[in-house]
Amino acid sequence: MSDNINLGRRRFLGAAATTLAAAQFALAGPAGAQSGNAKPVTAIKPGTHTSFPAIKQINAGALNVGYAEAGPADGPPVILLHGWPYDIHAFVDVAPILASAGFRVIVPHLRGYGTTRFLSSDTPRNGQQGALAVDVIDLMDALRIEKAVIAGFDWGARTADIVAAIWPQRVKALVAVSGYLIGSQQANKAPLPPKAELSWWYQYYFTTERGRAGYEKYTRDFARLIWQTASPKWNFDDATFERSAASLDNPDHVAISIHNYRWRLSLAEGEAKYDDLEKRLAAFPVISVPSITLEGDANGAPHPDPAAYAKKFSGRYAHRLITGGIGHNLPQEAPQAFAEAVIEIAGY
């Protein structure tokens, strides 16, 4: 943890989104060897695509997971994980790029989003980090995917980090926006400087019953505000927002969201079956698979300084700043840059 931020808690910094800048750290092994060449991809304007083919459903672990799929069925698998309060449309322009490059692209709705549902009404509506990571492993098992490139942002980046750290044998490579986001309840007990704490206003709001009721009543207004503050230079239109906001109508969305943030502050219990996993995560395990981390130059959401987490990646690694006013929802704001990172790291 740096002086200013816990690696498991993102920090608000201003700045914003659209072209790929030079790598701040060269893609290299532990000794610093230079990387190979990335495959070129066709230029695409953000917002070119607005929908996926029909959403598929599959039983996986505790869930019936809704997911989009693109590309050849026998292509190298890539799993794309969205964040809060977004949905699979964050990758609506990324998926076709990867599919045209020959990848089998899987884009699941996380628990509490879209058409994903719990198989049992008795299952706790648990949003802790370990539960979301196990969901990914369960989905891979259900789809008979032994190994995949995992990529994501926000909750999706944290989940991808965890899968890569704990199950490296299942991960060919990793792309994570905002880098290393694995957290722990113990680390989250440490106070941050006042300006950083202000950035987490919604987390503290959610600890109250008023906050839960407010999010339930004003889910769309809340999500729009987060989109605007997290990506201050992204001029998304109403149609773009509504396509994703519809996923927040999931009957478990509010419960999962509130539990996630309360769990982080030790104000809600997790499930005992994840205790051993959380103990491993609390040690902040190193990620050994080939990795590229990305950051937008206008990310208005809490996020760590890349220098604070660079050493958490022990294999081939690069960090890239994406310029042009790119905010927190980097895949949707800069789909070509995100897809290029996936294609490049998949080659290692």
Cα–Cα distance, 221 to 98 (Å, whole number) = 32
Residue 10, in any domain of the structure: no
Residue 151, in any domain of the structure: yes
What digits encode the pLDDT tens for the residues 73-128?
A: 999 999 999 999 999 999 999 999 999 999 999 999 999 999 999 999 999 999 99
Residue 6, in any domain of the structure: no
Residue 158: which CATH number? 3.40.50.1820
Give Dmax (Cα) for the chain. Answer: 53
> E strands along 144-279, which residues?
148-152, 171-177
Total number of domains in the chain: 1
What digits encode the pLDDT tens for the residues 6-60?
A: 333 333 233 333 334 434 445 654 323 233 344 456 778 999 999 998 899 999 9
Cα–Cα distance, 214 to 225 (Å, whole number) = 13
Residue 7, in any domain of the structure: no
Residue 3, in any domain of the structure: no
Residues 305 and 2: beta-carbon distance below 8 Å: yes
Nearest to 266 by CA among 8, 83, 38, 1: 8
57: number of Cβ within 10 Å: 14
Cα–Cα distance, 181 to 156 (Å, whole number) = 10
Residue 87, in any domain of the structure: yes
In the block, tokens 């990793």 appear at: 174
Decide the pairing of beta strands 77-81 and 104-108.
parallel
The overall average pLDDT reported for the chain is: 90
Structural domain containing residue 94: 17-346
Residue 179, in any domain of the structure: yes
The answer to whether residue 345 scores a pLDDT higher than 60 is: yes
100: number of Cβ within 10 Å: 14
Residues 319 and 311: beta-carbon distance below 8 Å: no
Nearest to 76 by CA among 176, 162, 169, 150: 150
Quick one: pLDDT at residue 23? 42
Q: For the ranges 36-45, 211-220, 320-329, which has the lowest average pLDDT? A: 36-45
Residue 2, in any domain of the structure: no
Quick one: pLDDT at residue 27? 60
Cα–Cα distance, 211 to 268 (Å, whole number) = 15
Higher pLDDT, 223 or 39: 223
